[in-house]
């Protein structure tokens, strides 16, 4: 029986999968979901973390796949939480972040998609600049209720078009263009 998808997305985060599925559908790529907890090394490099996750995922499912790692980098906190964003969100959440930052609210969201198959890794990185809001706004997941992308007045959580301007969208768009050319 043939696969019903073009590439697998390995993640335990259903929200990430649902966003990626909608985004890649715009490019004609059908995404499969393998819900797995992956080894996440502690490192200050999102790329190293994502590559390790891709290797772990490939060891588990042995088919072409993508993984994603992202981080919120806040200027006034010297880039914190950065690659530790998931852990920080689980421990102190958005309220904790809002209590930590001062007047400089500049930040950027970074996303790295890593494609892995039997032969190689290829990574796709994107960054979206913005600011941290003064309070939680909207009902989104993760840091979406506190991140206002550049040239916007609303948080990711409040934006209907978030999937068209997010850090994840930009990385997935780069991946999609590369993948479609590769399939040829």
DSSP per position, 28-75: T-PEEEE---------S-HHHHHHHHHHHHHHHH-S-EEEEEEEEEEG
d(CA 57, CA 36): 8
Q: Which domains does the chain have, with CATH numbers?
A: 7-183 (3.90.950.10)
- Global pTM reads 0.91
Q: Please pick, among 6, 37, 43, 69, the residue that the annotation labels catalytic.
A: 69
Q: Give per-residue pLDDT as tens, 110-166.
A: 999 999 999 999 999 999 999 999 999 998 889 999 999 999 999 999 999 888 889
Cα–Cα distance, 119 to 64 (Å, whole number): 10
Helix H or strand E encompassing 172: helix 167-183
Q: What is the pLDDT of residues 48-107, one digit of tens each?
A: 999 999 999 999 999 999 999 999 999 999 999 999 999 999 999 999 999 999 899 999
- The answer to whether residue 69 is catalytic is yes
Closest CA to 50 of 77, 19, 10: 10
Coil, strand or helix at 19: helix
């Amino acid at each position: 029986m043939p696969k019903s998808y073009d590439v697998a997305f390995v993640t335990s985060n259903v929200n990430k999968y649902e966003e990626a599925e909608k985004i890649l559908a715009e490019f004609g790529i059908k995404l499969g979901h393998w819900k797995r907890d992956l080894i996440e090394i502690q490192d200050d490099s999102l790329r190293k973390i994502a590559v390790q996750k891709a290797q772990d995922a490939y060891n588990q499912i042995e088919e072409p796949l993508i993984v994603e790692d992202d981080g919120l980098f806040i200027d006034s906190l010297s880039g914190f939480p950065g690659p530790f964003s998931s852990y920080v969100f689980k421990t102190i959440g958005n309220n904790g972040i809002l209590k930590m930052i001062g007047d400089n609210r500049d930040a950027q969201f970074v996303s790295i998609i890593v494609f892995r198959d039997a032969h190689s890794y290829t990574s796709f990185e994107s960054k979206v600049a913005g600011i941290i809001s003064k309070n939680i706004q909207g009902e989104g997941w993760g840091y979406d209720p506190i991140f206002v992308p550049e040239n916007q007045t609303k948080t990711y959580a409040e934006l209907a078009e978030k999937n068209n301007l997010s850090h994840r969208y930009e990385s997935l768009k780069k991946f999609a263009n590369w993948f479609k050319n590769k399939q040829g």
